[in-house]
Each structure stands twice: as structure tokens, then as C-alpha cells.
């Protein structure tokens, strides 16, 4: 079995958010026991001195028993940021016309 197929065979559902140099993957996966959990991966594209692209990845695993607390803390934290700083992005590097897009990947061919 290919390494790619082995890594992705337990994926049930995927959403992709492209945000500039970062891409966020929201993957619903299945445990060996048949239950579902969520992985959230941030992939950031970097360029080396030779110009070659590399990807720095960070992943968290989120299980059902933690969804409610995670969602509450996420909402509380994002509400705090918006209330304190508003919705406008404060960054010289950020393109204010940037529109984030979401994608659903339905098959291995789309990756």
C-alpha cells in the first residue's frame, strides 16, 4: 500500500482553507474503533536560500469529548480579539483585498 494511501485511508471528510502562505486542513478521521476525531493542520510555505519551497506543518488532534470546551474557548478568544482590535487586520504584510476560500477535497486525484 502506498504511503499516501495509508496516511489518508482513514480520512472521512476534508475542508481546506487557503490563507496567503498558510493553508489550514480540517480532516475528520476514523479511529481503529470506528469513532471519528478531527485533525487541524496548519501548513506554511517557506522558501530556502536556494529558492526551493518547503512546508512547515503543525497539527492538533481534537476528540469529541473536547469539542464543547474547545469551541467555547475558541469563541471566547476570537470574540476577545474582535472586541479589542476590531475586524480590520493590522499588518503591513497583509493584503486587505485577500479573500479566503474554502475547498472540499472529494478524492485523492484532487490533492
Residue 94 reports pLDDT greater than 80: no
Nearest partner of 26 among 14, 11, 9, judged by Cα = 14
Average pLDDT over residues 35-50: 92
Distance of CA 63 to CAs 6, 23, 41, 49, Å?
Answer: 21, 22, 14, 39
DSSP state of 33: T
> Would you state the cell numbers that stand for residue 40, as one nine-digit string?
487541524
Question: pTM score, two decimals?
Answer: 0.67
Give the full edge-to-edge strand order of the sheet including 11-19: 53-63, 36-47, 22-30, 11-19, 101-104
The CATH code of the domain at 1-64 is: 3.10.450.700
Q: Which has more confidence, 21 or 83?
A: 83
* pLDDT at residue 64, as a whole number: 95
Rg (CA), the chain: 17
Average pLDDT over residues 14-31: 93
Phi, psi of 35 (to 5 degrees): -90, 165
Which of the residue ranges 5-9, 16-20, 47-51, 55-59 would you say has the lowest mean pLDDT? 5-9
Is the separation of the CB atoms in 64 and 37 below 8 Å? yes
Domain regions of the chain by residue span: 1-64
Residue 15 reports pLDDT greater than 90: yes
> Would you state the cell numbers that stand for residue 43, as one nine-digit string?
501548513
Amino acid at each position: 500500500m502506498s504511503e499516501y494511501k495509508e496516511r489518508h485511508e482513514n480520512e472521512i471528510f476534508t475542508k481546506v482553507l487557503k490563507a496567503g502562505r498558510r493553508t489550514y486542513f480540517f480532516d475528520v478521521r476514523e479511529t481503529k474503533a470506528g469513532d471519528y476525531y478531527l485533525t487541524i493542520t496548519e501548513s506554511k510555505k517557506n522558501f530556502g536560500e536556494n529558492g526551493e519551497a518547503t512546508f512547515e506543518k503543525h497539527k492538533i488532534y481534537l476528540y469529541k469529548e473536547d469539542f464543547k470546551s474547545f469551541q467555547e474557548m475558541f469563541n471566547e478568544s476570537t470574540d476577545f480579539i474582535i472586541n479589542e482590535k476590531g475586524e480590520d487586520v493590522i499588518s503591513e504584510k497583509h493584503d486587505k483585498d485577500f479573500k479566503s476560500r474554502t475547498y472540499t477535497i472529494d478524492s485523492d486525484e484532487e490533492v
